[in-house]
Structure 1
Amino acid sequence: MRAHFIAKTLEQLSERTYRQLLTETWNDIKPEKQLYTNLLANRVRYLLENEKLSSVELAAIEQSIWPQTAPPAEEQEQELNQLEELQEEQQEEDQDDPQTRKMKQIFGRNTLLYSGINPEARLKIPRMKGSRIMLEKVRMVDAIIESHITSATTLRDIVDLVYTGAATVCEEMGKCLTEPHRKPKKEQPPWRARLERKVLKIRKNIGLLHTYLNTEVVSNKVHKAVRRIASEVRINLKASDSRMKLETLNDHLKQKIKALGNRIKRYTESKMRYENNQLYYKNQKQFFRNLENNNNSDKEPPKTEDMYTYWQAIWGNNKQHDDTARWIRESEAESSSRDTRAHAPRVPP
């Protein structure tokens, strides 16, 4: 347990994980009896979950991880006071009814398990239906939190207490904490992976052919690879026109890789159109939000002087409207003829 408390303390001061620090701390303390990570973590979990040590013993072990170098009288008095407070709490726990005592033990164990953990990495609290039994459990946990909240100095400590209380209620109600919801990684579609593998293979062949055609002394590795490529397209390297055929093959591969690139681009655009259409019918708000995010650019907005100059060139010059334009006369004539036909008397049949 001493190695456990040392690892928990070092975890807050470094970016390393608790399991790594626990293993290194144990191996430094007991070099003659080195253990692997899973065994150490399982033993710590067993001691905490089965309450093999009381809260007073755990507090004494946690206090013992700090250097003991002849503390002054004031510090000795503080330690004695802390021990007396722990003993009083232990006596109060002994006076409580069995249900409250069990609840406090579970709360203390969960505090050691979940305090200081990143909220995103914690187990998810399940949703439960309200009942009279659950309300009683919540009130008991509220009383326990109220006795511990005076020692909370930061908002993170308060959040840890609230989460620990919720986990305690779930455990008492027989509900299991679930793994946190993580967004699934977007996997590449099979068609894209297949085309990209083909593009990589063709690029490799183009590089080998370029090296073979533009190098006077070719290595055995390149010569062997070019011989394999030539055998696939039935080119005889010993023939007199083999070099010309290899150059033609190189150009053909370049055109082929360009066609594959266009195909990937076409498929990607088609897939994006399909996803946008589906999103528009299912969630229009998210569709327009994505559209606005895609249109946002990192360019700086134009300056006030540039905007003034631009619009001054358009609206600053006075222009005279041409009232004698031909299209105006044609529109007036057409409008007058339409009005004449509309007001003409109708002849009965």
Structure 2
Amino acid sequence: MLVTYLEASRDLCETDSILFGAAVAVCRIIGAKLPMAGRATTQSSAIPAWRKRIEDRIAKARALIGRLTSFRSGNNRPRIMRTVRMAFAGTNISLSQPDITQKLTERIDDLKQKIAAWGKRIRRFTDRSRRFNQNRLFQSDQKRLYKSLERPKVCGAGQGPDQADIIAFWRGLWSEPVNHSEGPWMEVVASQGASVTPMDPITVTPEDVAEAVRRAPNWKSPGLDGLHHYWLKGFIVCHAVLARQFQEALDQKSLPSLFTTGITHLVPKDQDTTDPSKYRPITWIAYRARMHCFFAELDPSIPVTKQNLADRVRYIMRSKIFDDAELERLRREAIPLSIELAMVGDAAPQATNQPPRVEVAMDLPVVVDSDDDEMVSHELEQMRSILEEAILETRSMPLENRPRLPRIPLSKRNRAVMRALNPMLVTYLEASRDLCERDSVLFGAAVAACRIIGAKLPMAGRATKQSSAIPAWRKRIEDRIAKARALIGRLTSFRSGNNLLLPDLTVPRVVRTVRMAFVGTNISLSQPDITQKLTERIDDLKQKIAACGKRIRRFTERSRRFNQNRLFQSDEKRLYKSLERPEVCGAGPGPDQANTIAFWRGLWSEPVNHSEGPWTEVVASQCASIMPMDPVIITPNDVADAVRRAPNWKSPGLDGLHHYWLKGFVVCHAVLASLSFKRLSTRSRSPASSLLGSLFGS
């Protein structure tokens, strides 16, 4: 239905109004709530929770100050007196004291100081939040920040300038002709600009509009037109009309309709929409296609998508792996290399057999922090001795005694150390006979790399058990139980006669604790029924202890069920093993050996003639047409691809080797491929295959 209206639209403003009307019609058809009072343009001014809490304290303190002031002026109403008693709870101050007026004044002053401190805290937190928001706004929208910093009351104060003076001032600047004396640099710029080829004309197609809309979030905040990307994705008939009107606006170099309709959300934010000559809508993703083609020319054996390359470039730029000098050097090396590859590609066909990845890695230059050849050879010999010592240490070391390898940062120096160790590992890897020996060589190389770069390497072995730390909630409840039990002991001691004679002098600690137990009540230690009150207080504490213990049991049971359900999803064998009760299973005398042998011999030693049915012939005929599986061949490229996809510091297996080391020691890929293929061919399984499982099972 929209085709007729869209084809009759003359510009982007009219197209935008048609699309907005269609969105309103869809909302009315499906019964969606559609407020017609206009869109709110201001943000919500919700008060933060921390400010509400502090303001509540200030309000309560001010109300208490009013009650205390009223009581000090002679108001003895019961409600006022009750509030005053609560204000002095936990102290030895009584309302019948002769200096009660002085105590009231001191209490009021304390409350006023607290109010002042809370107000200062609010101002400090508000200033901190304002600075944080301004810094964030400076990163996202500087124009909006500077606009928010304007002070209209100050800027608009006083008498405004005269209009005639303003016109005369600007006319004197812009109306008079000025003859500029240009220097010789104009000729240089003109000669350099003569060799610059003009930019190709921009052609906007419906596919470009569809691609820009597809990549945008559905309900991202819209522009001035109020249209979300969801509607542009749904009304696909508008893509051709939008492309045509975009093209007309670009050809005429006038973009007022883009800004008046707010349809500029189709244009990426990193493009300059103020200069029509630089305005390139939707064509910003062209660099990904060029980068993907260039990467495919350099290494066609690695399957990678355009999005993967773009994400990797973004990660490199944000993480600052390479400094500016290194990036500039790589850029200078890449530009002539691409030109040379393009020239060679047209002259001669590319070789089909590429060299192995191991040989390419061995030809990498070793980067050292010295220009002296003797110093370089000395450092290499020192690294070789450290490597040999580490391999000898780890060759006979059990798996459980190996140290935990630390995470090392991704820096140029660390990569240089890895590249230098690669050629040294070739002799040890070629001499390895099985996966166990090869694994010990790689672990020793990792230990040597950590020692060379100075990483902290604990040699006490890896912890194989999980930490049995007590949760925070259980610690809190156990602390409450301990305090309640201690209070019960003091109350029982006081009730049993520990307060006789001079309680304030003999056992002041017990008496002080009992007074604190009755703070906020009207109970005094000199009352005749104090023993009954003590018994009631002890019973209340015992009930609280029982409730806390029940809460611990309930939380522990809930945590146990949660862990068992999660373990059932990941490892059922481990769950069933944890449910075994050795004290119950091993109770009582064991079965007699002779009876056990006789039982199983009667099951397995007697020959049994099974009568097979006709279904066996059907299964045999069906299996005869099944082709045998081709032999599995593991190549170094398969190992390299499996390692490349794995995370660097994922939790290792029994060998303790992270994938980072397998990525760095690229010379092991060929040896690992040959040993893995040999192990598959012989159909042998051993505990040394933990690394093989971590590679091809992840």
The verdict on a shared fold, with TM-score over 0.5 as the criterion, is no
Higher normalized contact order (CA 8 Å, seq sep 6+, divided by chain length): 2
TM-score band w.r.t. shorter chain = 0.3 to 0.5
